[in-house]
Structure 1
Amino acid sequence: MAQGAGMDPTRAILGTFAQAFVDGDWQTNINHLEAKVEIDKRELKLVGHNWVQYKIGAKKGSGTMSGYKVSSKMIQQDFKKFEIISKLDDPEAFGFERVRLIRCMPDSVQLANWTAGEEVTEDTPFTFEDYELLDPIVI
């Protein structure tokens, strides 16, 4: 049985070559970055429709940045706003993607979290107020 042309598995993007920049500085210790936008979807029940209709309300951006602790920068940053640029890259992919997260603010600042004999990691949950897709991956 002949198979059609499917996805080239080498084009699947791995996070191995991803980068995170905070206020322009490459964070080589970061090994996980997640950001998403949720919308406040309003339900509308309109005459003449037997389906609920939806209207987009306010948007909310949130995420988490995780990695190895190498400095006290996040403690010193306190709750001041900063900018993150996420670069998702893979040499075998169709290109790379950069997303700018604007006016980020930590939800919490980790002051201590260690165990003898283990690497110290740092998780920073945050919110952001806007985003910009700087470089899309286009096929």
Structure 2
Amino acid sequence: MLDASRVIMGTYGQAYIDGVWQTHINKLEASVEIEKKELNLVGRDWKVHKNGAKKGSGTMSGYKVTSDMIQRGFSKFDIISKLDDPESFGHERVRLINCMPDKIQLANWSAGEEVQEETPFTFEGYELVDPIVGN
């Protein structure tokens, strides 16, 4: 039976860009899609699939505190996503390799409101650095 205390909360997530903790980031999403080539083979009544190219994409968002993303421009960087919860079976770190912004937010503000910054990006590989393993 599931021990509810082991469910991981995003509250303890951290994002590092090129090794520097981004304390202002409060949301990070990244996923990989794969192209599947659909094949029709003789003698089979099922279509089969061959793996094709992969595409990594994601979005990070949080509060605007520096001009770092503007200064970086469209240069590539690595992101390490760390998901940690004191009650979980451990922590998970995933390295996103060769991230590059799709767009850079130059201005997005309203009087009396916190300035939020969102950066969609693509990446060219990943590495599961620390997996979470249940007991």
Fold shared, TM-score > 0.5 on shorter chain: yes
1:103 maps to a residue whose letter is N
CA displacement, residues 13-36 of structure 1 (integer Å, 9 cap, x when unaligned): 000011000010000000000000
Secondary structure of the structure 2 residue equivalent to 1:74 = helix
- Unaligned 5+ residue runs, structure 1? 1-5
CA displacement, residues 39-59 of structure 1 (integer Å, 9 cap, x when unaligned): 011100111111110011000
**TM-score scaled to structure 2, two decimals?**
0.98
- Unaligned 5+ residue runs, structure 2? none
1:25-104 paired onto structure 2 within 5 Å: 25-104=20-99
Secondary structure of the structure 2 residue equivalent to 1:80 = coil
**Match of 2:110?**
115
CA displacement, residues 100-136 of structure 1 (integer Å, 9 cap, x when unaligned): 0000000000000011111000000000000000000
CA displacement, residues 59-107 of structure 1 (integer Å, 9 cap, x when unaligned): 0000000000000000000000000000000000000000000000000
What percent identity do the matched residue pairs reach? 70
1:20 maps to a residue whose letter is A
User: How many Å separate the matches in 1 of 2:86 and 2:21?
Assistant: 19
**TM-score scaled to structure 1, two decimals?**
0.95
Secondary structure of the structure 2 residue equivalent to 1:57 = strand
User: How many Å separate the matches in 2 of 1:12 and 1:49?
Assistant: 43
TM-align CA RMSD: 0.4
